[in-house]
Amino acid sequence: MHDQLASLYPQHLATLRERADRALALGDFDHLVITAGTPLRKFLDDQDYPFVVSPHFKHWLPLTDAPGSWIVYTSGNKPRLIFLQPRDYWHVVPQAPHGYWVEHFDIVIVRNAAEAVAQLPAGQRAVIAADCPATEGVEANNPQAVLDYLHWHRSYKTPYELALMREASRIGARAHRAAEAAFRSGRSEFGIHLTYLAAARQTDAELPYSSIVGLNEHGAVLHYTNFDRVPPVHSRSFLIDAGANAAGYASDITRTYASPQAAEFQALIDSVDAAQQGFVAKVRAGQSYPELHIHAHHVLAGVLREHGFIRMSAESAVESGVSSAFFPHGLGHPIGLQVHDVAGFQQNEHGGSIARPVGHPYLRMTRVLEAGMVVTIEPGLYFIDMLLAELRDKPFASDIDWARVDSFRQYGGIRIEDDVVCTDGAPENLTRDAFAQHG
């Protein structure tokens, strides 16, 4: 893996430099200045939350634990890393930079924030940094023209980035296999979560997002993160939405499992899985993502009809909003340096926004797919009390088999999610490839 990254990194950096050149010219800036950021302080405390590096910083180099450090790029010059290595006996001091990428940077090591700021160039600076906490002595301006350009082009992953995303998928798939085994052995949600962390060999703070580990009815809570410590008497179903991190790049994987006694739920999982793979096959250049989302609603409404939950046609189920009660979120989102990556709604490299389809407020991407993009495809069917209660008062309630719906509440719901690369030809399914390696 190291040799592969070493061979791919120079072209990745050259691509970032070209993009930075154009972004700086758009805003009439001399320098691009990017902070790694600093940890957020807990309210009324002297401790910090776990550090989360700026995605703009880790785009340039595989450093995810360098708080207080800076990248400076000036067109035509080698990029500089101002690396903060404080004198500190309270914490582990970051190691001096090393690895396949260091030869491509001019590196300056400093001991405190003031020394770091003193190294920043004068002139017209595009400073990309969070508003809070303020970077000492430097005012972030986050120029919109620069951000719009960089975010737009970040949608197109370099071969180096794809290599890291494959690795994140491999780590995630390995941990998912362990989590499934823990479910099969009757462990609690908390126990499954600990098994996942051990198999991923990553801490909670290192994962790209908080894992969702839901047994039985808990699968109906879209962002369930409670982790019951005691296993249920009967573990009927299991939904896990959990990813992994590789040098700052995320994987985002969801799987749903049924116990051997829950054959009817397994049959529904199989139908959703088949539908999901059909949606993945449509991840091709020129495909409108919102149109794919609407298509998914029609297919999933057909699954609901096939399994006896509704008696209306798929078209009627979508038009009336019935399908949205069972599938209330978007089909997926862009993924990369962030789990829900930037520019999902952007009109072009100069900004703008493409509206979501009416009636689909939670869709996280409205662009047309192009080669180099990576998106998740995560359809779901759920039995959510609140949404089902709203359906009962509608005129079409008689077209729903409520006894059958009620019998499935005990399983919570189904979500199946893969990370998929749009190419010039057939899509590359990072997730299924990774599971095949950990079969």
Q: Tens digit of pLDDT for each residue in 271-330?
A: 999 999 999 999 999 999 999 999 999 999 999 999 999 999 999 999 999 999 999 999
DSSP 125: E
The Cα 316–Cα 334 span in angstroms is 30
Give the number of other CB atoms < 10 A from CB of residue 127.
20
| The token pair that represents 308 in the structure block | 């006896």
The Cα 75–Cα 21 span in angstroms is 6
Order of all β-strands in the sheet with 253-258 = 212-215, 237-242, 253-258
- pLDDT for residue 19: 98
The Cα 295–Cα 310 span in angstroms is 18
User: Which amino acid appears at position 225 of this protein?
Assistant: T
The Cα 296–Cα 215 span in angstroms is 25
- pLDDT for residue 388: 97
Do the beta carbons of residue 60 and residue 49 sit within 8 Å?
no
Strand-pairing partners, residue 158, are: none
- Binning pLDDT at 50, 70 and 90, where does residue 400 land? very high
Give residue limits of the domains in the chain.
Answer: 2-154, 159-437
| Domain 159-437 fold | Creatine Amidinohydrolase (3.90.230)
CATH number of the domain at 2-154, please?
Answer: 3.40.350.10
Q: Tens digit of pLDDT for each residue in 111-128?
A: 999 999 999 999 999 999
* Residue 299 parent element (H or E): helix 289-306
Question: Is the model's pLDDT at 91 over the cut of 80?
Answer: no
Whether the upstream peptide bond of residue 62 has omega within 30° of 0, thus cis, is no
Q: Tens digit of pLDDT for each residue in 220-261?
A: 999 999 999 999 999 999 999 999 999 999 999 999 999 999
Q: What angle do CA 60, 61, 67 make, to 5 degrees?
A: 100
Q: What angle do CA 59, 26, 116 make, to 5 degrees?
A: 50
pTM here is 0.96
- DSSP codes of every residue in 148-194: HHHHHHHTS--HHHHHHHHHHHHHHHHHHHHHHHHHHTT--HHHHHH
Question: Is the model's pLDDT at 414 over the cut of 60?
Answer: yes
The Cα 207–Cα 150 span in angstroms is 25
User: Which amino acid appears at position 377 of this protein?
Assistant: I
- Binning pLDDT at 50, 70 and 90, where does residue 134 land? low
Measured CA distances, 306 to 31, 243, 277, 324 (Å): 59, 32, 18, 17
Do the beta carbons of residue 27 and residue 143 sit within 8 Å?
yes
User: Which amino acid appears at position 355 of this protein?
Assistant: A
* Residue 359 parent element (H or E): none
- pLDDT for residue 132: 57
- pLDDT for residue 308: 98
- Indicate the SS3 state at residue 310: strand
Q: Tens digit of pLDDT for each residue in 33-60?
A: 999 999 999 999 999 999 999 999 999 9
pLDDT (mean) for 209-219: 98
